[in-house]
Structure 1
């Protein structure tokens, strides 16, 4: 009799990865919480300075560039991109020096006013820790890659404060159009264990209550506005991606020492603050909270309409000049402020917070190609009442942003339109997008047939109208002739 090996093997594998991912989640949750606490202490210490903290930004960017170039070049830029590149090209192999360098340079960049985020370092710290443990335990390449993905999910879950969305994001962000289901359970376990560890160690998270409308009440007019908002948020995501890329290329082409570039970028942002204000330095969490307020007395002028445009530029200059940090928190800022402005244009005053929430998650989906985790994040942060509208806006934004991403190393496994052909398996930055001639001709033929049928229908209507008019004229002539004969 054949021994049943399938289910025992599955049970053994599940047990192995549940234990491993649980332990790695606890370790990463503790390390990332340490990073968050150091960042919080650094921000609190700024109040003791005898001058504005952002005057230190030029020095902060220079120091960040020096530390990165000297000790860990992999820590350059927003960390999530480097992690994705390591997973796809090196089976998750990451230099352990990245962990302390990324932690320190991100704290320096953010505390001195650089416009960046904290999730990229969280992901890079998580992935670097998992990679180091894999090497210590002599894991195979495949197991190391799997554990590193768990580390990414744990890092995101700890920083976001959304264990489910964070776990899914760590998987979904790797490949556009495909989910690595074999890592789904370990990522969930790692995400939850990291999140609960962070909570146990005192990490605090912000959740928003957007509940001006009734439960499960579907407003068709509002849905139409949400669909229009999805298009707008997709264009905002496209603008973020294009600005980051062009700014990075422009800075790289400047024939100047990288330290002078970093110093000059810091000076530029300080000078711009005299024109636009100081709300664009650092994480900008207070501005996000302000955009989420449901106080109708604030009106649409509580935030300047151009806030999201200025934040895009500040973030592009900070990261393009060598600053260290993530890109997701600025995306949240840009999404919330652009949604707040959009709500002021097309919604009522009490819908400002709703559209700010929709922008928060929709721009994320469009810029990172992660619609599933963005939808789950809407549920975890804003509640089920917002999730219905968020899902619509998120999917539209994801499609409108096109085949591009803030993470150029993402692999692409889908086309967002059947009229386009994509080279699957390539980096999204290098993938070639071209018109699908066969589908286009088919679509064109269908459209032409519709036009022909419409033209025939119009001709038929005109002929019927002409015959009807002729009959009316004949009857009128007959009546007139009859009246003449009778008279």
Structure 2
């Protein structure tokens, strides 16, 4: 009995591509198209919002810098203004931003009050314009996440879709601040978990980051980074890179522990937050009077100088960590990552100056390595290095970032990060349902028995 030609074709088709597989491809394609559109819109809108914030902030900084010396009196006024603006508009906006967003994604299904957006914009400008030592990435992340969370609520998204859109907002905000679209996207995904990576959201994160970057560039946000001379790949260069990475891990440990120690010290002060703001302002003013005002603010000028090969004072990164912690503990609003850029670059310049090496190159390595170590994002930091300094730095940046990430240990400027995979097999998860129950593996002591002859 012969089988008709059409029937044979259908049977062959079913043998080659199962029906279930075709359905899966259709579902995947529909999901990709949906999130391409959503991430493009979310990235463009977030980019426009962050660009407006960054341009307003820079204009405010230029305005204050042009004032006479009495402008330093604006530091206590700015910190008090930050405290009261957050208290009146949105108390959830307190802190340095990124950590609050990570907590919202892990424990509140990505729900962030929309009033956080105007509160964070106003409080950050009041903190940074007079000279508070904070960064722009934390507020930008909280602004982007708050906006996309509100957008997800308005679109009546499910919990899973809302969290996905909030991650797009995080990546778009970081791309707008860093000027590194791929690095910003990877950072937005990698920063949520230590030792884990949420791949399903990577595509929309990348699309939203690129859209945000393009909108910011079109609106006039500039991303000028000095060119860095990268040495030819050699065993000697890699050896110096490894040694520098070990040094950067010590810098990260100091940085994280200093921020934590000063935060706890201020919490023990039995005084209302406005009084603590005045204490913080007094510390900032004393440092500015003793060592100059180059340590105030985000540290962008010092970062640019270090990358251009200008060695910073040996105490620069020590004091920057202290002033960052003091500003945040006193109610200042801002991020921790931008000052960390300067801390890493200044440390890299110090290392290079001590051994007669290229200051600009090692400042660039310190820049990205301290990001990897202080917030557990080695992949994002490596991508950032390639986007900012060129592909030739990739082997050095990859080595420095991974070594610094490993040696910094279980520390982070973002304590709400969830540990998925520890940095050593000596740690075990006691309770699989509790991601905070990591303990050191207990080893039985082996007793050697010696027989006497």
- TM-score (norm: length of structure 2): 0.91
Query: Helix, strand or coil for the counterpart of 2:157?
Result: coil
1:7-27 CA-to-partner distances (Å, cap 9, x unmatched) read 110000000000000000010
How far off its partner does 1:242 sit? 0.9
1:371 counterpart (378, 394, 400)? 378
1:45 aligns with 2:63: yes
In the TM superposition, what is the alpha-carbon distance from 1:133 to its structure 2 partner?
Answer: 0.5
Q: Would the alpha carbon gap of residues 35 and 397 (structure 1) be closer, same or farther in structure 2, given more than 3 Å must change?
A: same
How far apart are 1:435 and its partner, in Å?
A: 4.0
For the Cα contact (< 8 Å) 2:195–2:423, is it kept in 1?
Answer: no
Match of 2:246 in 1: 231
SS of the equivalent of 2:295 reads coil
Q: 1:325 aligns to what? A: 334
1:304 aligns with 2:313: yes
Q: Aligned residue pairs: how many?
A: 430
The question of whether the paired residues in 2 share the 8 Å contact of 1:157 and 1:195 is answered with yes
2:211 corresponding residue in structure 1:
193
Whether 1:133 and 2:189 are equivalent positions in the alignment is no
Structure 1 range deviating more: 50-59 or 71-80? 50-59
Task: Sort the Cα spacing of 1:426 and 1:149 in 2 relative to 1 into closer, same or farther, 3 A.
Answer: farther
1:49 deviates by 2.0
- Measured in 2, the distance between the counterparts of 1:343 and 1:198 equals 34
Tell me the alpha carbon deviations over residues 299-337 of structure 1, each in whole angstroms, 9 at most, x when there is no partner: xxx421110001000001001111000111010010000
**What is the distance in 2 between the residues matched to 1:160 and 1:323?**
21
How does 1:68-467 map onto structure 2 within 5 Å?
68-211=86-229, 213=231, 217-294=232-309, 302-348=311-357, 351-422=358-429, 432-437=438-443
Q: Deviations over 1:170-195 (max 9, x none)?
A: 00000011111110000001000111
Corresponding residue number in structure 2 for 1:474:
none
1:58 aligned onto 2:76: yes
Question: CA-atom RMSD, angstroms?
Answer: 1.9
Q: Which residue of 1 aligns with 2:7?
A: none
Which stretches in structure 2 are left out of the alignment for 5+ residues? 1-13, 449-453
- TM-score after normalising by structure 1: 0.85
Worse-matched range after superposition: 17-26 or 55-64 = 55-64
Q: Determine if contact 1:411/1:425 at 8 Å carries over to the other structure.
A: no
Q: How has the CA–CA distance of structure 1 residues 432 and 194 changed in structure 2, closer, same or farther, with 3 Å as cutoff?
A: same
Return 5+ residue gaps in structure 1 as ranges: 449-487
Contact 2:227 2:308 (C-alpha < 8 Å) held by counterparts: no
Give the whole-Å Cα distance in 2 for the aligned partners of 1:197 and 1:221: 42
Larger Rg belongs to: 1
Confirm or deny: 8 A CA contact 1:77 1:322 kept in the other structure.
yes
